[in-house]
Amino acid sequence: MALSVAGSLSAHAGVSFQNNGTVTNWSNYPQSPAHGNITEVSSPVYGGSTAIRFYQPFEGTNGSSYHCEVDQTPVNPVGSTCYYGFALYLPADFKFSTNQDLCFSQWARSDQTSPWTLMFLHNHEIHTGGSGGLGRTWGAINAGVWNRIIVKIVNSSTSGELTVWVNGIQSGTSFTGNITPGGPAIRWSTGQYCTWWKTHIPNGSNPMITYEDHFRIASTYAEADPANWTESGGSIDPAVIYQLQNEASGLVLNQQGSLTNGSAITQWSSASTSQNLQWKFIPTSNGYYQINSVRSGKDTVVQSASTSAGAPIIQWSFGSSGDDQWKPVQNSDGSYTFYNLHSGLVLEDPGSSTSTSTQMDQWTPNGGANQKWKLLAQ
C-alpha cells in the first residue's frame, strides 16, 4: 500500500517526498500517456508490495507526442539542494541499441517553460541532456535487475549543479549548469517521455516497458538512496546470535578466529559451532547495523572504506566512516541482502566461490545467490 506522505516522512527529517511504487501521492497522474498506460504491479518490485509499470507503444517517428509519466511539483526551489532517488528495472529481454534512446526521467521549471534536463538510456549508458545544456554520460545499467539512480540538483539562480550516481557509483565529476536559471522551483517527471525508437530498427523495443520503485526527494544522498529505506529492511533480533549463510556457497561468514584489526573475512562450513562463525547485529540508525563478531568484538567492514566494487571485507573496530554499517533488505525467499552505508554496494561471496579460503567482498547489487544471506539463529 502507499505510504502516506505525512506519516512516512515523520521519521525522515530530510525527506520531502516519498512514494513506494504506487500511482497515488503524485502531483499529476498520469501525465498524458497517449496510447500507453501506467499501472501498479506486484512483480517485479524493488521493495514493499508494488512498483509502477510504464507501458508505451510506438508513437510516430520519434515518440515526442506522449508523456507516459508521473510527476511531482513544485520541488527543489531556487537556492536549495535536493537528492532524487529511485530504482529502475528493465525487463530481461529489453533491447539495448545505439539507435534507441529511452528517456525515463526529466527535470524542468515548474512553470512549464524552458529549459529542461532529460535523463535517458542510450544503449546501456545513462545520459543527461536537453535544453538546459547539462549534457554528459554517466554509468551503465543492465536489464533484468533493479538499478538505483540518485541525482543531486543544486537549483541556483546563477549556476547550478547536476551529479548522478548509478548503483552507488558516481561516474566522473558533477556537471555545472542551469536547470531553472533565475526561475522557479522544479518539476520532476519520471516514467517515459519523448523516447526515440523507429519502426525500422529490427532490435528495437516496441512496446517500451519499464518499471520504477522507491521514489524519494531528500536533502541527503543517504536518505534518497533506495537501498537505505528503513521500510525495506527485514526483522532482525539484536538479542540473537546468528550465522550468516551464503545462498550460493552454503558456507557461513567466518572471521577465522583472529582478534586483530584487518583480518580477512572468509567463509566456512555451517556445521561448526565455533564463535568464529557467530555474529550479533548491533543497531546504529535508520535501519543499519554493525555485523559484530562474537569472537573478536570487531565489525564486518569494507577495507579502507573503499567505494569500489570488488573491495575486500575485513574485521575492524567500529568507527565513524559508515563502511562498518549494513542495511538488511529482505528478499522474497526470506534471505537478506546487506547494503553498505558508505559505498551503497552489497556484501557477497565473489564468484559464488565454494572455497573456505575465499575472502568476501562488496559488489554492485545484481540479485545473485552469492549476494543473499540466510540468518541461522544459534
* Per-residue buried b or exposed e for 321-330, using 16+ beta carbons within 10 Å of the residue's own CB: ebbbbbbbbb
pLDDT at 263: 96
CB neighbours of 328 closer than 8 A, spacing ≥ 6? 233, 234, 236, 281, 287, 289, 336, 337, 338
pLDDT at 46: 85
pLDDT tens per residue, range 306-329 = 999 999 999 999 999 999 999 988
Measure Cα distances from 158 to 176, 177, 178 in Å: 10, 9, 7
Cα-flanking dihedrals φ and ψ of residue 191, to 5°?
145, -110
Query: What is the spatial distance between Cα 54 and Cα 374, in angstroms, rounded to a whole number?
Result: 33
Check whether 2 has a pLDDT greater than 50: no
CB neighbours of 331 closer than 8 A, spacing ≥ 6? 337, 372
Query: What is the spatial distance between Cα 148 and Cα 225, in angstroms, rounded to a whole number?
Result: 7
pLDDT tens per residue, range 21-31 = 999 889 987 77
Angle made by CA atoms 32, 37, 41, in degrees to the nearest 5:
135
Minimal CA–CA distance to 69: which of 228, 215, 229? 215
Query: What is the spatial distance between Cα 86 and Cα 190, in angstroms, rounded to a whole number?
Result: 10
Domains (ranges, CATH) in the chain? 5-231 (2.60.120.200), 233-377 (2.80.10.50)
| Cβ(1)–Cβ(23) below 8 Å | no
pLDDT tens per residue, range 223-255 = 888 876 754 344 677 888 899 999 999 999 999
Q: Where are the beta strands (DSSP E) in 37-159?
A: 37-41, 51-56, 67-75, 80-89, 101-109, 116-122, 125-129, 136-140, 146-155
Using DSSP bridges, classify how beta strands 51-56 and 80-89 pair: parallel, antiparallel or unpaired: unpaired
Which stretch of 137-141, 276-280, 370-374 has the lowest confidence by average pLDDT? 137-141
